[in-house]
Chain A
Amino acid sequence: MTAPNSSERKACWDARDQLWKCLDDNGDNAASCQKSQSEFEANCPAQWVKYFTKRREFLKYKDKMQTEGFKPAEGPRQPS
């Protein structure tokens, strides 16, 4: 399969931006953004869909860390 060219890349990025805007507006409620989701999947190669989905999760996580702070997970109890 050939790599997406410049206009195909742009179409994918625009669809992704639409989806992310929808998710932002709907509090990450995937159900409300079904249309944008299908647009996104139609305009982007499967690998890119996976990549951008993971990227969004990471960006959300990073945001959370920066605003809410980091709570270290409780480690195993030390044997007394």
Chain B
Amino acid sequence: MSWFRCIVGDVRGGGRLLRGLPQSPGLPQRTPRCFLSRGPGPGPPGPGLRTRVGVGLLVGGGLLAAWWFVDSEKRQNQRRRRVEQLKQVSLGQGVFSLLDHRGQRRTKADFLGRWVLLYFGFTHCPDICPEELDKLSAAVSALDRDASMPPVQPVFITVDPERDDAAALDRYVKDFHPRLIGLTGTPEEVKHAGRDYRVYASAGPKDEDGDYIVDHTILIYLISPDGLFLDYYNRMKSQDQITESVRNHIKNYEQLDPQPEGP
């Protein structure tokens, strides 16, 4: 109770009141300033100090909790805004329908619920596509070794449907990650899928053997289980950088779109 008396004693009116009160041996000395840290008289700091510390901690804790709550709300809003931005960019928003390397029809819906690393290329590619697919496969394998990570689905879509039929893709994907799915289709279907991801592709002139090189965008796309384009990796990104980036995306991923109800 002495701390209360201290505060009262500080205020002028209170001071006059205090001076009017009969002095008793237990009362502290009347001083113009009040040292709140001092307990009643020469004794050790009593409940007063403990109470003050307790209240201080409570207030501090409350402030911290409030700050954390506001901060997490802010982060949640930032993520929502980022998702909205990505939706605006509308990469990979369409529905593609292609044939996989085993001749099975696959649509975009088949890949929902899984993380996908996607690369566009062609089997007659001299060096870049094998290198990028090696990088992609190595990243997926590294993530496979991490038990806390869900399996990532590697996908290869051809930009050369004239030559890359299901059989050609079947031969090609064998050289990379065992889960790598190759996708092809009619030139229209393939063009549609490429347009969806704003992939540039241009076949060069044919030589005497009928061989040609297809110039195309060299990017690995990361797609979330919502089917949203989340990130991309160019030639400069190493296998480790891709692995780390995908790991972070998966860890920080929060499902902002509700899961569609299953049949």
Contacts and interface: CB of A to CB of B under 8 A. Distances in A.
Interface of A: 1-6, 9, 12-13, 45-48, 50-52
Interface SS majority for chain A:
helix
Interface of B: 123-124, 126-127, 130, 163, 168, 171-172, 175, 207-213
Given A1-B211, A5-B175, A47-B126, 17 more contacts: A2-B171, A3-B171, A4-B124, A9-B130, A13-B127, A45-B209, A45-B211, A46-B207, A46-B208, A46-B209, A47-B124, A47-B209, A47-B212, A47-B213, A50-B207, A51-B126, A51-B213
B133 to A, nearest CB: 11
A1 B210 contact: yes
Contacts of A5: 171, 175
A61 B19 CA distance: 95
Contacts of A12: 126
A1 B212 CA distance: 11
Contacts of A46: 207-209, 211
Contact of A52 (B123, B126, B168): B126
A45 B210 CA distance: 11
Contacts of A1: 209-211
A48 to B, nearest CB: 5
Contacts of B209: 1, 45-47
Contacts of A45: 124, 209, 211
The 6 A-B residue pairs with the shortest CB-CB distance, nearest first, are A3-B123, A6-B175, A47-B211, A48-B126, A3-B124, A51-B126
